Chain A
């Protein structure tokens, strides 16, 4: 049942054992384990080795990334009140309340089984928020695929077609999120060829709690009872974390499907009610969700955080099927939580869970000695040092002073680069100016990275809970502009709002991880500001390739530094984060993808801004400097060119622009706003007109020193276009006196008209532009299957 494994073997033989048992442990780790047990003068059991495999996986231990995270991501100086960063980040909202942020990736499972992978990703991130004692109130997802146009012939064996992945991932999110009753209200979809064999599914969840309701992911004292609640334990998701901590291969489809968990939103929904009710009655001393590594990781970490130990009886676990003890210990079956409960509260807990018909089984207790003892019907299967379990050898390495010095010098050279960039004159272009900008604008609007996401968004219930104040699609009922961020109202009796968004542009990170990551933070901030909110906190999901490849580690370092560069300047903390490595197969790695989730605060939701033009005869202003930054732009992608400057970020300008935007919104000087991102001014203006069906006549003459195509399509950061009623012009100019402001033109009419010094660049009807924008992506979704009414 639980054999003792002889590990007094050679390194090569040890590696065989690691492979046979599916441990995913490296040569060094196996040798380190051999030493440990030699010192103890005994051999490990299979269950002990499995537990080490889980806990020391990249997924659970962050062994490759932790040093980088410590240097660049944690502890950014801030005025935002970050109370805790455990399974989720806990951030102060008002005097009585906090909001909770979690961001997770579910990349490997989604690449193998997109529907189940995406669905269980949602389920898991909801429990990350729930285990802090918070009510989950919003979901945000960032999805990354290869082009849906990818010809089937060029898709390698064992890889699923991007169009299939896209459809099934969206279905998985929709079916789980809608059923569990938490709105999916914000997100992004990006396309890049590098996601062909590794699509990315990043899911975020926001919760809200009273300050006195926060629960720690750790036990409080010895003798507390550890209670497993929620779904039954089964064979699904065995070795999920070790599978997530290695590169996918052609064989993954066949071999690793059992590592993908099964999701059941109808078990999760009452589990949320029961956990929150028990927490309201103060019956829970500590709570942790069962995610990667199952019981093994949850138990080790919940007692480890309090420097205590646990004794667990696996026979007490309610199983769906007959299982080996080690399988019970590491199964990643979904919809389960581990509670630490004082013995006198156990009956009351049982009553609550019975009312909601949710399983609830005491499986062990907290003990003073820092060991994890696992038994099965009285028989001891494991007795492990808790500290040893939580510390893979890689994390014993001491801080490297030289590296830190090197890091600092790189940051300052990037700052110099920024200064130099400001002095670069109009950039040389190797190609003549296009003759027909109308055609280019229409093609850009239909491009997969720009086209409307309405087809996806409307499959998500984005307003269940009745907290969604501005919607992901904004404007009139049928026509809409895309939201930069949505605003939710977390508290019933306060007008305070949270703005939510997530972003990263793979086209930038692929070309320069530093500026790409910096641009991601910039875009998130301007999305929040365009909704009228003040950026308040961030979360990051670093999706990278194989960390054992030098270049990948360099990319990850560059990304971390880029995030730090902007976040530090703006004083924005990363309240929560996640790292997903090994997003690599033998056909290549994904481009570095540091997804950034942003939370903003708006004092009164009734001053939220939306991206649809509101009326005729209003003024349009551009805020922020337009540089000649076309490298990595959608425009050059369309022309098939690689040249010019990548958009850089000036954090000082970003800060000034965002601050003024929030003030302009709260004083109702601005009545519509949209940030400039992919597709530049041309696409931004078009999108502004869609929602309200109100056109614009603008002239770009105030942008000097640039060729018209750079004016129209440069993707420089930190910029917005805003709509201002004429009578507010003076107030507007006062508020924005420290920002670069350019008058563009007026709203009105049914056309999008963009001139440059009187020369017409673009003149198209709103309807023609909107139609190509709406159809750009929807054509890749399942054929519209109209059922005729019988």
Chain B
């Protein structure tokens, strides 16, 4: 039940992410990427990987670019962790890193020539946007097994570069192979700003690989793990314990338990 929470300088969501993992019975290990490169740890030691949010290396170049460059030599290890069926979760900056690595979207052309096939780029508003967003769950996988398909949940989003952009061909492929995990929802389709906070293509907020064990998502489930962390709790009548981010981690824990 050991989960690698992979960080570098500028990653800054590792504490709340680790807390969420621990709260569902998993054992998070905060690993600095240099320690992985130096061989102090190996991805094979773990039953899953989470890349938390933040501004790795300051994200001055392009979000996730430096982190992905560090991680690229270890791509074979990451690929085999994924092929073995262990869960991999990239939140916000983590999602950007998975896209930069070419792990998401999970496309056929990527099998032959690995590299990025999409990008999470500067928000349409050209600003950092911190706000709660509504998401529609489009696909059931190990992370969303606690949700229903079509269910709408509210999660906090906070990013400057979350606009998903790719080619028409790739968009078609990820749509037909069911890789769109979450879409932003507003009163109209496609969702307008600020319901879609970044201008993401096809309202895409999260992607899952074909195998269903790698999830990348821009909004932050770990910031709405408990009921009282979500923005809308003061307007709700009933008091709960867990919030809409809980199922992501609970699903991960249940899945790993089944496999062991």
Contacts and interface: CB of A to CB of B under 8 A. Distances in A.
Nearest to B133: A477
Contacts of B158: 178, 461, 463-464
A692 B34 CA distance: 48
Contacts of B15: 465
Interface in B116-155: 122, 124-134, 154
16 contacts: A174-B128, A178-B55, A178-B128, A179-B12, A181-B12, A181-B55, A457-B130, A458-B129, A464-B158, A464-B223, A474-B234, A477-B133, A478-B195, A489-B228, A786-B124, A789-B163
A463 B58 contact: no
B229 interface: yes
Contact of A465 (B16, B163, B228, B231): B16
Given A179-B55, A786-B124, A787-B199, A461 B130 contact: yes
A644 interface: no
Interface string A455-472: 001111111111011110
Given A180-B12, A787-B124, A477 B131 contact: yes
B243 to A, nearest CB: 10
B128 A459 contact: yes
Interface stretch (A55-63, A250-258, A402-410, A606-614): A606-614
Contact of B128 (A356, A461, A474, A489): A461
A606 to B, nearest CB: 6
Nearest to A264: B58
B122 to A, nearest CB: 7
B101 to A, nearest CB: 21
Contacts of B12: 179-181, 269, 464
A768 interface: no
B13 A464 contact: yes
Contact of B228 (A459, A460, A606, A787): A606
A467 B195 CA distance: 24
B169 interface: no
A522 to B, nearest CB: 25
A420 interface: no
A355 B10 CA distance: 15
B199 A477 contact: no
Interface in A600-626: 605-606, 608-610, 612, 614
A785 B193 CA distance: 13
B130 A463 contact: yes
Interface string B165-205: 10000000000000000000000000000110001010000
Question: Which 8 A-B pairs give the minimum distances between C-beta atoms?
Answer: A181-B12, A466-B16, A266-B58, A179-B55, A466-B223, A785-B126, A610-B234, A461-B158
Interface residues of B, number: 49
Interface in A173-197: 174, 178-181
A790 B129 CA distance: 20
A477 B232 contact: yes
Contact of A612 (B132, B223, B234): B234
Contacts of A462: 130
A469 B54 contact: no
Contact of A471 (B54, B126, B154, B231): B231
Given A784-B125, A787-B199, A475 B58 contact: no
Interface in A85-133: none
Contacts of A269: 9-10, 12
Contacts of A178: 55, 128, 158, 160
Nearest to A783: B126
Interface string A757-788: 00000000000000000000000001011111
A511 B76 CA distance: 69
A67 interface: no
Contact of A356 (B9, B124, B229): B9
Interface string B191-228: 00011000101000000000000000000101101001
A492 interface: yes
B57 interface: yes
Contacts of B199: 786-787, 789
Interface range, A side? 35 or more
Interface of B: 9-10, 12-13, 15-16, 19, 32, 34-35, 53-55, 57-59, 122, 124-134, 154, 156, 158, 160, 163, 165, 194-195, 199, 201, 220, 222-223, 225, 228-229, 231-232, 234-235, 239
Contacts of A790: 165
Contacts of B34: 357
A309 interface: no
A140 to B, nearest CB: 16
Nearest to A785: B126
A204 to B, nearest CB: 19
A729 to B, nearest CB: 19
Given A179-B58, A469-B229, A475-B235, A789 B127 contact: no
Contacts of B124: 786-789
A265 interface: yes
Contact of B134 (A470, A477, A609, A692): A477
A641 interface: no
Most central of B127, B130, B133, B231 by chain A CB within 10 Å = B130
A483 B127 CA distance: 22
SS class, residues of chain A in contact with chain B: loop
Nearest to B243: A466
Contacts of B35: 355
Contact of B122 (A356, A469, A475, A787): A787
B131 A605 contact: no
A463 B228 contact: no
Given A477-B195, A789-B201, 10 more contacts: A179-B55, A179-B58, A356-B9, A458-B127, A464-B53, A464-B158, A465-B15, A477-B154, A608-B234, A610-B234
A749 interface: no
B130 A605 contact: no
Contacts of B194: 478
A782 B128 CA distance: 13
A458 B126 contact: no
A571 interface: no
Chain A CB count within 10 A is highest, among B16, B57, B59, for B16
A789 B158 CA distance: 20
Nearest to B131: A458
A257 to B, nearest CB: 22
Nearest to A135: B15
B235 A266 contact: no
Contact of A458 (B122, B130, B163): B130
A270 interface: yes
A356 B8 CA distance: 9
A282 interface: no
Contacts of B133: 477
Contact of A477 (B55, B58, B132, B228): B132
A459 B128 CA distance: 5
B201 A463 contact: no
A474 B86 CA distance: 39
Nearest to A461: B158
Contacts of B126: 782, 784-787
A159 B223 CA distance: 42
Contacts of A470: 234
A128 B156 CA distance: 29
Contacts of A465: 15-16
A67 B52 CA distance: 49
Contacts of A466: 16, 19, 220, 222-223, 225, 229
Nearest to A185: B130
Interface centre among A267, A465, A787 (most CB of B within 10 A): A787
A138 to B, nearest CB: 14
B201 to A, nearest CB: 6
A525 B28 CA distance: 41
Contacts of B19: 466, 492
A478 B187 CA distance: 12
A266 B55 contact: yes
A100 to B, nearest CB: 18
